[in-house]
Structure formats: C-alpha cells, structure tokens
Amino acid sequence: MKMIFLKMPVRKVLGVDKLDEKLKEEAIRYFAGKPVMVICIKQIHKKYESFGRFTGTISKSLFKKVDTEPLLTFMGLAQWEKTKSIKISDFLRNYEQSKFEPIPFELVVESVSGKQLKTKQELAEDAETEYGSFLVEIGEIYPLFRMVFSRNRNTAYLGWFLKEPTACLAAFRNVAEALRNLPQEYTKLPVFAHRITGNPHAFDSSGLTGQLLFTMLYQQYAEAESAQAMNGFLSKAELENEIYGLFKIIKDDIMNFTAVNGLIAYRGKEPIAMWQDACLDRIPWNVPVRQLLDISWIRPGKGKQIFLIENSGVYSILLDAFPDCPMVCTNGQFRYAVWLLLERIPDDGITLYYSSDFDPEGLLMADTLKRRYGEKLQLLGMTIDHYSASKPAAEIDEKRMQKLKRIQSGELRGLTDLMAEKKFAGYQEGILEELLDEIRLLREG
C-alpha cells in the first residue's frame, strides 16, 4: 500500500548530501524501472511543454499493455475500473508525500524522460539560437552555405552540427574546397572526391557530405541557362546526372546509355570514325554517356529524320525492316544519355519522330517532348485510330491514370480523353504494319 512512500526522517549520521544523492538514484531507478511510471513521466513532460507547468491529465487508455499495480499503489487507488484518467496534480501531490520529496520532481522527470523540461516556446527559441549559430559557422566557411541554408532550413545538417560539430564542419569545409576547385575537364565523381578529400566515397550521394555537394551544385545550376531548357523534362535521377554533368562531374558514364542506329556524331566539323563506321555497316549499338560528352553534333547518316522508338522489341523489328534508318531506342523513361543525344541534334531541318506504347507513361513522354522541341518533333503512330487498332486490353490502375491529367499538348488531347474513358493500354506491337507503312512513306517522301 501507499505507506511505503511516506517521507522518512533524515538520518543525520549519513549526512544530507550523501543521503540526497542516494535518494536521487533510488527515485530515478524506481520511476524508470516501471513501464507504467515511464508512461506517466513522459506524459507529464509532454504536458509541461504545452502549458509550462505540471497540469492536465493522463488517459487511462495509455496503460492497456503494462502492469498498472505500481501506479495504483503509488496513487493509493483502490478502484481502477472507475478511474478514467490520472490527474497530474494528484500524481505530484503523491510524489511530495513520498520519501522522494527531497529530490526535485523536475529532476526526476528530466532524468526519466531524457529531455529537459522546457515549453514549446522555449524549445522554439532554443532551436532558433542553435540554427543561428549553425549559420554563422558554415557562413564563415563559405558564404553561399549561409545563403542557401537561410532560405531552406535543414534539420538534418543542424542535427549533425549539434551532435558532431567537428565532423559536420569538416564536411562543409570539404564541400567548400570542392566548389572552389570544380574540374575543368570531365572527371568521374570518385576521382574528384579523392582529389579533394583523399576519400573516393566522400561525395557519394548516400552520405550527407555528398548530398551537401549536390545541394550546392543544384543552387548554381538553377541559375544556369540549361536549367531553363531542361526544367521539367528530367526524372530525379537524370536531373542529378544533368547537374553533375554541367559542372563536368560524371556519376555514371558507362551504364547510362541509349541504343542508336544510323547516326553520325561530330567533333567540330569532323565525323567520329566509330560512329561513321557503325552507320556505314548498319550496326546498331549502345552509346554510353562517356561517348556523348565531348560531341559537338549528332546527325542522321541518311536523310533528315530521326525516329525515337520507346519499345525495344518494336525497335528491333524496325531495324530488320530498315537497317540503315536513323533510329534511337528510348526504352521507356528517358535516361540522361538520351537527353544528351537529343540536345546535340542541330536545328537545321532535322525532324524527330516519336512513337510509344499507348499507356500513360508513353503519352506523358510524348507530351514532354512536344513541349521541349515543339514542331521539331512529330508524333508517329499515336492517333486515336492507332490506339483503337492496337486493340487495348491491359487495364490501367487509377494511380497511373492520374498521370494523364498532366498532359498539356493539344495533339494528344483526343487520345488522352479516349484513354481516360477506356482505361486500357495498347502496345506498339498491335500496330506494327501501320508503323512500317508510315516510316516507309516518310523515308520515301
């Protein structure tokens, strides 16, 4: 019963200080060692944050999964079934009537909860002070840091700064050094990281240091002319490649590639022999980012048409029919390599023709290309009649259907509306004969 918590007389032979320290440890051990008491203390702490004092109640529903006997004994409650909640004022009164009274209740609450007793306003003020100190420190390293983090509050780096200030500021210094010494020639990210820090993985995107470098490059990219050109046309991963590439840093120059046929690349006015030979020998091949970076122009080896085919199976069939046809396989979501290639096709009468499956992703990419290239790009086999001829039978779920709402091109409006009504996807394999005929007519014309 409650009697065990009544205050005990101070035994002078032990000495007050020694008794208080021993009693403090006992109090903390008592409240921290019982799950039901831990719940109470944490709720008391939470209420203090809101009201600035020990007030309010603790709902009985919070104790469903713990042994409540220690709480009943402490509070002197005999009929728990009729109790709906615990008043914090009653909890505090019972504490003050217990043997633990010499130990400030605030100390027990802070020790058990693991947090200081502060109101939300005080916590907010502390956070502002801490963030201000953080901004001062990083601003002294590199002024752009302070400007960027003043506009966009970042709790991840603040938390790192508060927990490990030395390591955090060292990372900011490394990134500042990287920004002052960006490569003049295309350099792989691990090589650049090793050059700046001695660690090839220092700027990996999985770590906070690498994310910081990307954040700062993005801020500078957003002000560049190319950002306006490519804004809204790249996936998140491809945007990352685009930004690094702008600063001559290469994340992946081998496995990021696109399939091409019948195209010739130039450095200045001179054709590149490998491209020229592949074109002459009618050899389709995969061209990686590595081979696109220092290219000036890309032109069709024959004629002034380049066909962009989304479906790799259809691309292969078209190659069988037209082995010398200038063609690119985009294979679904455009990789950075595709955008690099398209940006190197000159505006001198070359027309791009895009054809995709009849699904939300294909139509959305068609819309993206139309907005980016305007009349330079024409749609191939992407009319209402083609959609119907493909005999659409693959049901499209509601989440994918939402993508159709983002399409803006007037040329796609009728097809978009029909697909929204039918909710079925069609595929290019269903209109192969139509595609072959249309490409043949375009090439002959």
Return d(Cα 433, Cα 425) in angstroms, integer. Answer: 19
- For the cut 70, the answer to whether the pLDDT of residue 230 exceeds it is no
Give the confidence band of 77 by pLDDT, cuts at 50, 70, 90.
Answer: confident
- Contact of 107 with 26, CB cutoff 8 Å: no
* pLDDT confidence of residue 214: 93
Return d(Cα 263, Cα 301) in angstroms, integer. Answer: 5
Tokens of 287: 């061209």
The model's pTM is 0.59
More confident call, 405 vs 78: 405
Q: pLDDT tens digits for 256-278?
A: 789 999 999 999 999 999 999 99
57-59 and 85-87 strand pairing:
antiparallel
* pLDDT confidence of residue 232: 53
More confident call, 126 vs 99: 99
- For the cut 50, the answer to whether the pLDDT of residue 219 exceeds it is yes
390: alpha, beta or left? (left if phi > 0; alpha if psi -120 to 50)? alpha
* pLDDT, the chain, mean: 87
More confident call, 370 vs 3: 370
Q: Considering only 43-57, 220-234, 299-313, which range has the smallest mean pLDDT?
A: 220-234
Q: Considering only 181-190, 219-228, 309-318, 349-358, which range has the smallest mean pLDDT?
A: 219-228
* pLDDT confidence of residue 253: 60
Between the alpha carbon of residue 435 and those of residues 159, 235, 331, 334, 419, the distances in Å are 57, 28, 17, 21, 20
* pLDDT confidence of residue 242: 77
Return d(Cα 352, Cα 350) in angstroms, integer. Answer: 7
- For the cut 60, the answer to whether the pLDDT of residue 185 exceeds it is yes
Q: Which of 311, 301, 308 is nearest to 275 (CA)?
A: 301
> Residue range 391-411: average pLDDT?
92
- Contact of 307 with 326, CB cutoff 8 Å: yes
What percentage of the chain has pLDDT greater than the value 70? 91
Q: Which of 327, 83, 207, 10 is nearest to 199 (CA)?
A: 207
Q: Considering only 19-28, 204-213, 227-236, which range has the smallest mean pLDDT?
A: 227-236
- For the cut 80, the answer to whether the pLDDT of residue 223 exceeds it is no
- For the cut 70, the answer to whether the pLDDT of residue 228 exceeds it is no
Q: pLDDT tens digits for 332-365?
A: 667 888 888 998 999 999 999 999 999 999 999 9
Q: Considering only 23-32, 60-69, 216-225, 349-358, which range has the smallest mean pLDDT?
A: 216-225
* pLDDT confidence of residue 438: 95
Q: How far out from the chain centre does Cα 248 lie?
A: 23
Return d(Cα 362, Cα 386) in angstroms, integer. Answer: 14
> Residue range 118-128: average pLDDT?
75
More confident call, 316 vs 186: 316
* pLDDT confidence of residue 278: 95
Return d(Cα 279, Cα 300) in angstroms, integer. Answer: 9
- For the cut 80, the answer to whether the pLDDT of residue 169 exceeds it is yes
Return d(Cα 74, Cα 407) in angstroms, integer. Answer: 66
- Contact of 363 with 356, CB cutoff 8 Å: yes
Give the confidence band of 323 by pLDDT, cuts at 50, 70, 90.
Answer: very high
- For the cut 90, the answer to whether the pLDDT of residue 12 exceeds it is no
* pLDDT confidence of residue 100: 92
